[in-house]
Amino acid sequence: MSDVAPFTPETSAAIARARQHTVGDLLRRTALRYPDKLAVVAGERRATFAEFDVAVNRCANNLAARGLAKGDRLALLGHNSWQFAVLAFATARIGVVLVPVNFMLNAEEIAFILGHSGAQGMVTEDALAPTAEKAIAVAGLTGGVRGWIGTAPKGAIGAAPTGDWESVDTWIDSGSAEAPDVLVGDDDPLRLMYTSGTESRPKGVMLSSKSLITQYVSCAIDGGMEADDVEAHSLPMYHCAQLDCFFSVDVYLGATSIILPSPDAATLLETIEREKVTKLFCPPTVWISLLRHPDFDTRDLSSLRKGYYGASPMPVEILRELGRRLPDVRFWNFYGQTEMSPLATILRPHEQEPHAGSAGRASLNVETRVVDDEDRELPPGEVGEIVHRSPHAALGYYNDEEKTAAAFRNGWFHSGDLGVVDERGYLAVVDRKKDMIKTGGENVASREVEEAIYLLDGVAEVAVFGISHPHWIEAVTAVVVPRQGVALTVEQVDAHVREVLAGYKRPKYVVLAESLPKNPSGKILKKDLRVEHARLAQG
């Protein structure tokens, strides 16, 4: 009220501390509610919530002792692990910004993220240490915190990186278990998630506790999530889909998390049976791999009750097959993007059959519209850009005023996806305004691949796009026009991209052509190319 005198700074600070509700607080509160409940299973590690909380305190205190403070950035390069889970909450507890890095990137790509984020430290697993060390050298970083996660068998040659690297296990298993005394605000950045766009370089998406926790609430309520869930987490936790739609929500609610290093079908099926898993998230490609695995019909999957998919639409026939072979499992489709932390819309179980292929409707804390180029809301049936307004939304792009202003113009986050809503408000994503290709659950920017191919001598023009694929959902495809008089071969293009791009970004199909189809203004007609080359994925 305007007529009330302001409080003293001391009183204001005390109120802020009493009202603090950040990602770093969630685990502590869950541990107070369920201290003896199983929180995490990762390999041979089985930790209760009380034990998880102690590990996070110790790790946070050790990071602080090594010089990391609120606002500093710590890069994390590794597969899913117990240590990854601890670091996700330990950094949040002291306000350090975690920078999860895609472990499929090459050293040069990682070096860009290290340099752009201004990382003051890095954690990697032993198997990725050579790549991490090369990235650090390319980025020209000196000093800083260095931690390694042991995944190789003890005593194996090269099991630990040399030099100033410390074992993360020593941070987790030793030192003070007292809760760090750091005041973290609701909108202080806690995560810096790098996502590919149409540009050749990824953008750093800044997420705060407010962004994340309001998203957790939407996931829990609209996604039917509960404290008695037992969930297997096999998709990479460097993605906010697995990390923030599922793992962190489980921690918030007090559910049990089974952490797996990868979505290997045989391991997933065995884990569901052994741990009595009730809940599972997979992109369509992984659900397909489970259905096609010979163990699917021999493992006891009767505990499974909730299934989630995202990253791309589920093929209708696969959805029907899942319904036949897992009749007791209810399915949800989650649609969104990193900038929405990442959930935006949900297609719920009772909506799957009548609205197959739809992205559903806006989740609890989100408004979603489809607009024209002037940001005017379009009526049902008309295609336009999908935009959102929500506290889920990111704080913006790190060190990029121009792209942030464009993405958040007129007070809405512009997704870059094209969509259409029907009369009942159900959203269908019909195209990607930014030419994003979603392949095997990963985002690939066509322009990034194009620019990489342009680095090859003898290339006159190139167009990269996705074509429908029975396994990958979309396959990265490149049509390359050689320069006049140059005898360029498909093998040369393949060899080149192997040197400059991560594996999942490399074209699965390369076609040499004399020219590219264009409209009168000179724009390449990728729609025509998709139609012309759709047969490539048909064998």
Mean pLDDT on 101-107: 92
Mean pLDDT on 54-82: 98
Residue with tokens 């790190």: 398
Structural domain contains residue 23: no
Tell which phi-psi region holds residue 500, choosing left (phi > 0), alpha (psi between -120 and 50) or beta.
alpha
Mean pLDDT on 502-523: 83
Structural domain contains residue 380: yes
Encoded tokens for 242? 């697995």
Tell me: pLDDT of 536 over 60.
yes
Tell me: pLDDT of 198 over 80.
no
| CB burial readout 307-326, b (16+ within 10 A) else e | bbbbbbbbbeebbeebeeeb
Q: How far is CA 297 from CA 30, 57, 209, 266, in A?
A: 37, 43, 42, 12
For residues 93 and 159, state if they share a domain: yes
Spatial CB neighbours of 280, under 8 Å, sequence gap ≥ 6: 231, 232, 268, 272, 304, 306, 307, 308
For residues 158 and 233, state if they share a domain: no
Confidence of residue 158 (pLDDT cuts 50, 70, 90): low
CA distance linking residue 120 with residue 195, whole number of Å: 20
Tell me: pLDDT of 154 over 70.
no
Q: What percentage of residues in the chain have a pLDDT greater than 70? A: 94
141: DSSP letter: -
For residues 415 and 497, state if they share a domain: no
Mean pLDDT on 243-249: 98
Per-residue pLDDT tens digits for 258-295: 999 999 999 999 999 999 999 999 988 789 889 989 99
Kindly report the pTM of this predicted structure.
0.83
For residues 315 and 460, state if they share a domain: no
Mean pLDDT on 18-30: 97
74: DSSP letter: E
Give the best-scoring range by mean pLDDT among 90-99, 135-144, 494-503.
90-99
**Rounded mean pLDDT of the chain?**
92
State which amino acid sits at residue 71.
G
Does residue 249 contact residue 216 with C-beta atoms inside 8 Å? Answer: yes
Count each helix (H run) and each strand (E run) in the chain, helices first. 17, 26
Q: Of 467 and 313, which is predicted with more confidence?
A: 467
Give the pLDDT confidence score for residue 3 in this predicted structure. Answer: 61
Structural domain contains residue 16: no
Does residue 418 contact residue 231 with C-beta atoms inside 8 Å? Answer: no
**Dihedral sign (CA 217, 221, 226, 232):** negative
Per-residue pLDDT tens digits for 43-52: 999 999 999 9
Q: Of 206 and 201, which is predicted with more confidence?
A: 206
Tell me: pLDDT of 335 over 90.
yes
Structural domain contains residue 40: no
CA distance linking residue 358 with residue 364, whole number of Å: 17
CB atoms within 10 A of CB 523: 9
Tell me: pLDDT of 238 over 80.
yes
| Residue in 240, 242, 299, 237 with CA at minimum distance from that of residue 265 | 299
Exposure of 68 in the CB half-sphere (CA atoms within 13 A): 31
For residues 230 and 301, state if they share a domain: yes
Structural domain contains residue 409: yes
For residues 290 and 340, state if they share a domain: yes
Q: Strands, E, within 199-283: which ranges?
A: 203-208, 230-233, 256-259, 279-281
Per-residue pLDDT tens digits for 372-409: 999 999 999 998 999 999 999 999 999 999 999 999 99
Q: Which domain holds residue 357?
A: 217-432
Structural domain contains residue 199: no
Confidence of residue 521 (pLDDT cuts 50, 70, 90): very low
Encoded tokens for 520? 């009168």
CA distance linking residue 169 with residue 372, whole number of Å: 52
Structural domain contains residue 114: yes
By mean pLDDT, which of 205-219, 289-303, 456-470 is the weakest? Answer: 456-470
Task: Give the CATH number for residue 131.
Answer: 3.40.50.980
Structural domain contains residue 294: yes
CB atoms within 10 A of CB 35: 13
For residues 375 and 257, state if they share a domain: yes
- Collapsing DSSP to helix, strand or coil, 449 comes out as helix
**Dihedral sign (CA 76, 139, 187, 216):** negative
For residues 507 and 381, state if they share a domain: no
Q: Tell me the residue length of the chain.
A: 539
Mean pLDDT on 418-427: 93
For residues 335 and 323, state if they share a domain: yes
For residues 301 and 425, state if they share a domain: yes
Mean pLDDT on 239-260: 97
Partners of residue 73 on adjacent β-strands: 97
Confidence of residue 432 (pLDDT cuts 50, 70, 90): low
Encoded tokens for 407? 């993405």
Give the pLDDT confidence score for residue 224 in this predicted structure. Answer: 98
- Please give the tally of structural domains in the chain: 3
Tell me: pLDDT of 423 over 90.
yes
Mean pLDDT on 336-356: 95
CA distance linking residue 366 with residue 368, whole number of Å: 6
CA distance linking residue 352 with residue 331, whole number of Å: 7
Confidence of residue 197 (pLDDT cuts 50, 70, 90): very low
CA distance linking residue 50 with residue 34, whole number of Å: 8
Mean pLDDT on 245-268: 97
Confidence of residue 450 (pLDDT cuts 50, 70, 90): confident
Task: Give the CATH number for residue 261.
Answer: 3.40.50.12780
**DSSP assignment string, 378-410:** PPTT--EEEEEESTTS-SEETT-HHHHHHHTGG
